[in-house]
Chain A
Amino acid sequence: MQGIDFTLVDWSRAQFALTAMYHWIFVPLTLGITFIIAIMESIYVKTGNPEWKRITKFWTNVFAINFAIGVATGIILEFEFGTNWSNYSWFVGDIFGAPLAIEGIMAFFLESTFIAVMFFGWDKVSKRFHLLSTWLVAIGSNLSALWILVANGWMQFPTGMQFNPDTVRNEMSDFWAILFSPVAVNKFVHTVTSGYVLASIFVIGISAWYLLKKRDVLFAKRSIMVAATFGLLSSGYLIITGDESARSMAKYQPMKFAAMEGLYDGVQNAPLVAVGFLGQTKKGGTPDEIDFAFKLEIPDMLSYMAFLDANAFVPGIKDLVNGNKKHGIISYHEKIRLGRMAIESLAAYKKAKDAGKIEEAKLFLKSFRENFKYFGYGYYYGKNLNTLVPNVRFSFYSFHIMVILGGHFALLFLLVLYFTFNDKIEKMKWLLWSALLTMPLAYVASEAGWVIAEVGRQPWVIQDLMPNIAAVSQIDASSVQTTFFLFLFVFTALLIAEVKIMLTQIKKGPSPIIENQLQNQIKEENKNV
């Protein structure tokens, strides 16, 4: 690539990261809270108890605020593909088209029909139809996320496609291979489950605030009961899917795996860094290396996590960059050579074809196809190899923050559930405060998950095939800078609006209930106990 403007690449990346991270503030709550609401409404339909209707309606209002503020924030990401990442948009061809079209159609029908029934349909449609609509909104929102995550999964592990050298586009050859690629499946289940955990913490946190304020006690305790159960089950599943994701990462994106553990020298019986702090960067090596200032390790755990074998060899960053013959790892120098050959073969193929030299073109095409899997490495010919290593500090800390917070969430669900079942939750002020303060941490963990997924795979926009320097459009960097700050302003305003409206709604609390009716319910419950 001639005249690469790294400022342009960096600003384009920063803008995409900004919009994606703001978008992701709204999405996980929608993914999870819709299921929590569906469970609450199911209890209402089953028991006929109006208190459950009141609970359902309150959380539906909270969902509505989040949905309204967040809706369409993801569209800007699609705009950015066409403007800032045009080479990439062209190169991916129809791979993105199909999943995004399905997502668009699904979202439209979902939002215009079932969400309307969910919000407006109380007492206008039957209880069962309303419940069905609520479940369909929950399932539909999650299925909507599926298509986006499948597209992202394909970028992490491109499969099920054939590159057409005449159109310079990838063409889908196997839809099912893309949909059910191990990376896409793990990405989907792990991501949506993280949304369930975040939403559970959100519901528990707000309910804890009601309990601390000694208001809407029954409402809060019942909300906690549903959310903590849902959250605990989701946490278990989150750990399983996280484990699967790590294994698929070790197989398909070993550099990301090594970076998130700060592992430079590959070893057998590799230990997992449970807690660690990175120290100074030692410059001048190939690649640069960062020491640990402190680390606490679990022996053999990383090998087991990656390959289900405590004795397995886990390659480090140096092994991946410099190669390791013993373990059959090709060096980046060799990959760059092969990638360069692929790029040159593609150019030569086109030239020969245009000149009518068909046999010559066939030979170049053969060479191109043989080396296509290293295509992206070709752009790093003569460049510093450190540019092929992701930011280790970012990767390491985001991964460990996510895991440590995940453990904290599971423990919180367990404690909250235990004390709620024993009817002692109101007295546990420290636990209620802890639940309340955990709310922002759920967002931190959720965003950290995306940081490891996206920063950890740098410089690849499409793993091994297209780096960000080849994907970016040749536009003026200053226009990207301007829109970056414009978005920062718009999204911050939206976030402030969300928090403000949400806080007003929370302070207002659930719809008032006739005192006698509440008293009767409490009496009824005491009788049952």
Chain B
Amino acid sequence: MHLFNKIFNFYYLGFKSMTTGKTLWLIILLKLFVMFAILKVFIFKDFLKTNFKTDKERSEYVLKKLTETK
């Protein structure tokens, strides 16, 4: 518990004493929010995972696409 407290305080005091760092953390958090809560959820859906249920279906689809030569 003592070690846990020390680690917690290390990070807590570190973050607390930041000046420019606070702006930077705000940018990081905003960026991560945009990436994972907006882009990944609404825009960057995994094409094969979204459109097919099983790996077999996915492989059959890709095979079909890769072997369409006419």
Contact = CB atoms under 8 A, between A and B. Distances in A.
Interface of A: 1-2, 61, 64-65, 68-69, 71-73, 75-76, 79-80, 82-84, 86-87, 89-91, 116, 119-121, 124, 166-169, 340, 343-344, 346-347, 350, 378-379, 381, 470, 473-475, 479, 483, 486, 490, 494, 497, 501, 504-505
Given A65-B24, A346-B63, A350-B67, 18 more contacts: A1-B65, A1-B66, A75-B35, A79-B44, A82-B44, A83-B46, A86-B62, A116-B11, A119-B14, A120-B14, A120-B15, A121-B10, A168-B62, A340-B69, A344-B67, A473-B47, A486-B43, A494-B27
Contact of A82 (B25, B28, B46): B46
Contacts of B21: 64, 68, 119
A444 to B, nearest CB: 25
B34 A490 contact: yes
Contacts, number: 120
Interface string B26-70: 011001101100011001111111000001001100110111111
B27 A68 contact: yes
B59 A86 contact: no
A64 B18 CA distance: 11
B32 to A, nearest CB: 6
Nearest to A166: B59
A122 to B, nearest CB: 10
Given A61-B20, A116-B11, A71 B65 contact: no
A108 to B, nearest CB: 13
A124 B44 CA distance: 42
Given A90-B59, A116-B14, A350-B63, A501 B70 contact: no
B59 A470 contact: no
B1 interface: no
Contact of B35 (A76, A89, A347): A76
Contacts of B45: 82-83
Nearest to B14: A120
A72 B25 contact: no
Contact of B69 (A64, A167, A381): A381
A169 B59 contact: yes
A378 B69 contact: yes
27 contacts: A2-B68, A64-B20, A68-B21, A71-B31, A75-B35, A76-B39, A83-B47, A84-B47, A86-B46, A86-B48, A116-B10, A116-B11, A120-B10, A120-B13, A121-B14, A124-B10, A168-B59, A168-B66, A343-B66, A347-B67, A350-B63, A470-B65, A470-B66, A490-B34, A497-B27, A504-B20, A505-B20
